[in-house]
Amino acid sequence: MSRRYSKQARNRVRDFVELQITDYHSNRRALADYRAQSIPSAVPKYGGTGGGNGGDSRPTELIGVRMASAQYIEHLTRSVAAVGAVLSRLSPEDRRLVRLRYWRRGYTVERAAQELYLSKSAAYRKLNAITTAVARELGYISF
């Protein structure tokens, strides 16, 4: 593998991880919505036959199988868990940097650094360490 390809691959991983951080809150909501829709209602659904044997005999088990086999839900679950784990280990200043850079519209790294009284290079180093930690948590890098 050439050195150039290796750098391109690293940049793609970084870009993907930054997207996971940016979409963290919407991914959490989507996952919660999907799970809420998948859980059966406590009120029984009776058809025209009065609730005989026309339906599934084990709906909870079927829901579990469907959730476990859905690749998108698996991806959302892994992504939310990885970003959440890294965020929980961050200092309050680093969490604020993530909030300003990824979750507030219009904040560049430079502007977030100014607001936190950091140098631009220190902000980039911190964000690089955070994206690296998320990539490790997701299993995309192993060093």
Position 1 confidence tier, pLDDT thresholds 50, 70, 90: very low
Confidence at residue 40, expressed as pLDDT on a 0 to 100 scale: 61
Burial of residue 49 (number of CB atoms within 10 Å: 0-12, 13-18, 19+): exposed
State the Cα torsion 137-76-113-117 to the nearest 10°: -70
Taking CA atoms, 114 is separated from 11, 21, 111, 119, in Å, by 25, 21, 5, 7
Helix, strand or coil, per DSSP, at residue 76? helix
pLDDT tens digits, one per residue of 47-99: 555 555 555 567 777 666 666 656 778 888 999 999 999 999 999 999 999 99
Pick the range with the lowest mean pLDDT from 9-13, 20-24, 65-69, 70-74: 65-69
Phi-psi region of 50 (alpha: psi -120 to 50; beta: other; left: phi over 0): left
Residue in the block written with tokens 């790294």? 109
Instruction: Kindly tell me if the per-residue pLDDT of 2 is higher than 50.
Output: no
Higher pLDDT, 2 or 122: 122
Do residues 136 and 80 touch, judged by C-beta distance below 8 A? no
Question: Would you state the structure tokens that stand for residue 24, as one six-digit string?
Answer: 């963290």
User: By mean pLDDT, which of 39-43, 45-49, 114-118 is the weakest?
Assistant: 45-49
**To the nearest whole number, what is the mean pLDDT of the chain?**
82
